[in-house]
Amino acid sequence: MKSWLLTGIFLAALIPVKSEAQSQSSAASTDRPQFDAVSIKANKNQSVGRINLAQSGGHLTASNVSVKFLIIQAYTLGRVNFGANPARAEWIDSEHFDIEAEAEGNPTIEQKRLMVQSLLASRFKLVMHHETRQMPVLALLPVKSGKTGPRLPPHSDATKCLPTPVGQGNPAVAPGETWVPPCGGLRVVNNDLAGQNVSMDQLAQTLSILVDRNVVDRTGLEGTFDVTLQFQRAALDSSTLDQNAPPPIATALREQLGLKLESQKAPLDVLVIDHVEEPSAN
């Protein structure tokens, strides 16, 4: 049986962390809710993959999604990396599908996540297990011990803090439009990252997506903070750096938040795919 390695880090800034027991995946389980009807069709378009778990009723629509994308959504993983020899599992990221599914009643978003887990097990024959492995990471550290930068003040209860509506996620923002950072979470719009009342662990987990590497909190900073960061997404060298744009993220972290990223190793919870198959046509 072939296996493929995925490493995942939970995105607690926007969705709650699941325990290992909740995240464990196996063959189709009788104690997990399932959709009553599912249609899966191959999609050869190049559009952006989308899934709407907040649809009312028991309907779910997923457009142009890969198996990798479905795993991230079903198990609330902020980012997923392939381990050694990723070519063997290339199709779970390169092949895309349109999915229509129906269930009775009005299931919650969390219930729909469990239904997507059941769908992965029954239609894609997905079987996974957890392991803890030493992996390369980027450690989030303070530039000066115990101190933060000008755009990372401790959160004050007097600060206006508006919760993000459930199911809203990261709604689009028009150019020039003012947006309010979420309370208890982080939001990225273009070259801006902002949030209020967030922990350093939440910041580290969100940075994991932006830098495409697992980031772990080793700042030693307790409590919660308000975050405002302007940065360039690409780590460009000086010859191609847009001098009119915000600085690269490493520079922005140091100058604006008083933080830095340092290469280290850490034990991470990883998901190992023991088996997965392309679905049969409907």
Q: pLDDT by residue (tens digit) across 144-194?
A: 998 999 999 999 877 767 655 433 444 445 555 556 678 888 888 888 899
Identify the CA nearest to 9 among candidates 137, 184, 115: 137
Q: What whole-number distance in Å separates Cα of residue 61 and Cα of residue 155? A: 38
Which two three-digit tokens encode residue 58?
Answer: 């028991």
Percent of the chain with pLDDT over 90: 43
What are the φ/ψ torsions at residue 280 (nearest 5 degrees)? Answer: -75, 155
Task: Look at residue 282 and tell me whether its pLDDT is greater than 70.
Answer: no
Reading the block at residue 167, the tokens are: 């199911």
User: CB-hemisphere CA count at 13 Å for 209?
Assistant: 17
Q: What is the pLDDT of residue 21?
A: 33
H helices of the chain, in order, are 20-23, 67-74, 91-94, 109-123, 200-211, 249-252
Model pLDDT for residues 1-26, shown as the tens digit of each residue: 444 455 443 322 222 223 333 334 44
- What pLDDT does 116 receive? 96
Mean pLDDT, the chain, rounded, equals 78
Q: How many C-beta atoms surround the C-beta of residue 181 within 10 A?
A: 21
Band of the pLDDT at 197, cuts 50, 70, 90?
very high
Q: Are 18 and 93 in contact (CB under 8 A)?
A: no
Q: Are 82 and 8 in contact (CB under 8 A)?
A: no
